[in-house]
Amino acid sequence: MVVAIDGPSGSGKSSVSRGVASALGLAYLDTGAMYRAATWWCLHRGVPLSDVDAVAGQVRTLPLVMGVDPQHPTVHVDGIDVGEAIRTTEISAAVSAVATNLQVRAELGRLQRAEIESARVRGRGIVAEGRDITTVVAPDADVRVLLTASEEARLARRARDVHGSDDAAAVEATRDQVLRRDADDSTVVQFHVAADGVVTVDSSHLDFDQTVQAVLDVVESVV
């Protein structure tokens, strides 16, 4: 079984996708981590992100290994564990420049399809999450979900993740970055409105367990 989950920043899709994968005994692929790893690699190699051909060249030879266990997902680049390094605000601020490079999207899309195919061949199945999985990477997935949440709920979640609080100051500190990243990403991928055949799950008023259950209900209804 292949489950594709897309959604904007702060929709909770990473933790919910891991929860769904764990509940169903499936592998888990965080495609955002792949874009983050590509960004980390380019910065590590001193490649200016504005040089689209140089960035694409680096990504074509990106020595990336994704660990797809939902209990313990890992990301290694050139043998280096970059799991934490790719979550910094520096990478969050830079990643859209790499993700809007169409040559990069073609290459990472190819790697993502290969991961999905390899899970399918091994008979395990996979939950793959990102921004364009339901539409571009795996439009033929068995289950396709768009996980949304109101802007208010998304900002509060991201503020709790990054600043450990969702008071007004923390939300304000998060607002610019989250909204700008979504706006930049939206220039090349569409993840605010469900495509044909994609089921929307709105998590604005659901807690984590309820959201995982809502996605599991969708899985049950379509397979």
DSSP 85: G
Q: Which is nearer to ligand C5P, 24 or 33 (CB)?
A: 33
DSSP β-bridge partners for residue 96? none
DSSP 131: S
Strands 199-202 and 27-30: unpaired
CA distance 186 to 157: 20
The closest of 137, 143, 89 to 113, measured between CA atoms, is: 137
Min dist CB 209 to ligand C5P, Å, is 21
CA distance 103 to 61: 13
Among 15-23, 129-137, 139-147, 209-217, the segment contacting ligand C5P (CB under 6 A): 129-137
Does 10 bind ligand C5P (CB under 6 A)? Our answer is: no
Q: What character string, x for contact with ligand C5P (CB under 6 A) and - otherwise, covers 22-61?
A: ---------xx--xx-------------------------
CA distance 112 to 108: 6
Among 55-63, 131-139, 203-211, 214-222, the segment contacting ligand C5P (CB under 6 A): 131-139
The SS3 call for residue 179 is helix
DSSP β-bridge partners for residue 76? 65, 81
Residues in contact with ligand C5P, counted by CB under 6 A, come to a total of 15
Q: What character string, x for contact with ligand C5P (CB under 6 A) and - otherwise, covers 167-196?
A: --------------x---x---x-------
Min dist CB 132 to ligand C5P, Å, is 5
List residues near ligand C5P by CB under 6 A: 9, 31-32, 35-36, 95-96, 99, 130-133, 181, 185, 189
